[in-house]
Amino acid sequence: MKKAEQTLVLRHDDHETLTSYLSTQELSGNHSIEALQTELKKAKLVSKEEFPEDAIRLNSKVKIKDANNGKEMEVVLVMPDDADIKQRKISVTAPVGIALIGFRKGQKVGWQVPAGMKTFTILDVVNQE
């Protein structure tokens, strides 16, 4: 799904929030939950002070560009209960959310959709507390 050389970076507090959420979810057959768990296991955990300003975390506003058609869009990465596609709030458990969490401005991420592989470049990241 993602390039092996890219390192996923997460703050300790985001990791704790996500693992706590996942512990309440039914795992059997839920591909999104399993995929997010896999990503969390690969993450490099850092403190708030060590977290790169251009890395995507919960509540990050992210500008991405579709590698196939050049279309740009802005989304905010949120917990599932806060997701709202009309407001461009994307759940961290959605395929695009799983692909984005922990990656940085300038990196390319990809995920599988029914029509094939989608690849995006992360153009900008704005983190909000």
**Using one digit for the tens of pLDDT, what is the confidence trace for 82-107?**
999 999 999 999 989 999 999 999 99
Q: Is 77 a residue whose pLDDT tops 50?
A: yes
Is residue 99 assigned to a domain?
yes
Is residue 79 assigned to a domain?
yes
Q: Is the pTM of this model over 0.85?
A: yes
CB 60 within 8 A of CB 76: yes
As given in the structure block, the two tokens for residue 93 are 């458990």
Q: Is 3 a residue whose pLDDT tops 90?
A: no
CB 56 within 8 A of CB 74: no
Is residue 65 assigned to a domain?
yes
Helix (H) or strand (E) holding 124: strand 116-126
Instruction: Tell me what the mean pLDDT of segment 13-37 comes to.
Output: 86
Q: Tell me the pLDDT of the chain averaged across its residues.
A: 90
User: Could you tell me which residue, 124 or 3, shows the higher pLDDT?
Assistant: 124
Full residue range of the structural domain in which residue 88 is found: 9-126
CB 65 within 8 A of CB 121: yes
Q: Into how many domains does the chain fold?
A: 1
Instruction: Specify which residues 90 forms β-bridges with.
Output: 77
As given in the structure block, the two tokens for residue 114 are 């029914």
Instruction: CATH number of the domain at 122, please.
Output: 3.10.50.30
